[in-house]
Amino acid sequence: MKATSTNPYNLDDSAAYQQWRAWKCGFYPLPNDDLFVRIENPSQVSDDEINALRDRLQATNFALYQTRPDCSKEEARRLCARFDLVRLDANLGADADGITSIRVVTGGHRPRYIPYTNRPIRWHTDGYYNPPERRIRGMLLHFAADAQSGGDSAIMDPEILYILLRDENPDFIKALSHPQAMTIPANDDGYEEIRAEQSGPVFSINENDGSLHMRYTARTRSIVWRDDPDTRAAVTCLEEIMNRDSMYIIRHRFLPGQGVI
């Protein structure tokens, strides 16, 4: 987020919001011929390559890169470290090294979860089921192999989604910022409770740096929305925005060696 003297997320500060909105929307549409940063050697990423990635992160909260198809886990980890992404979220499906390999799995507990099946993964933010102290604020998704079929991805900056919702109706932002806006039911495998029920807002502000955080999933079986008119209308609007063709949504079929930060 661009630093401002006032808070653009304050619903009562229209001037700060309009200034930030103009800056943010000014980056779109993104140039199709300059979406990817080329990383020549993932073992020794140059300062120029890092700066190019940082520029894109500052503008859109994501950066696409292209490197060698045989980029290793350790090289991907070192790239993460250049952006201070060093604390891994050891989720239930993570490998022994803490990195999560997303692929079709037929045995064990992983097939209970959509990322380890051949079913499509709907819109979501990483770690939407985590408690506040484990919020995911950054991630790297590296593509090591080509999909046998399908494999199309869609990416959207949550700050842009915030803008589109607020422009539609500021009450939508207020509803989605409620501490009980979205509840993720407990994860129970039939034998024990693996994770407790987790409630929280869709939109929240980081007290340390004033940045926006978003938690969301379109997976209907794993979410309960607060039952009030504004929340229902906000969710309907949010779904409509993310399911239409828009210059704000990047759609791409990633190839081996490509990734997103």
Q: Is residue 228 part of a domain?
A: yes
| More confident site: 142 or 97 | 142
- Residue 243 is part of a domain; what is its CATH number? 3.60.130.10
Joined together, the tokens standing for residue 104 give 């079709």
Highest mean pLDDT among 56-65, 73-82, 88-97, 115-124: 56-65
Number of structural domains (the chain) is 1
> Pairing state of beta strands 182-184 and 198-200?
antiparallel
pLDDT score, position 134: 85
Range of the domain at 112: 14-260
Q: What is the pLDDT of residues 218-238, one digit of tens each?
A: 987 768 999 999 999 999 999
Average pLDDT over the chain reads 89
pLDDT score, position 185: 84
Mean pLDDT of 70-84: 93
Q: Is residue 1 part of a domain?
A: no
Q: Is residue 20 part of a domain?
A: yes
pLDDT value at 3 more than 50: no
Lowest-pLDDT range, 83-92, 199-208, 241-250?
Answer: 83-92
CA separation, residue 198 to residues 131, 151, 178, 179 (Å): 6, 30, 14, 11
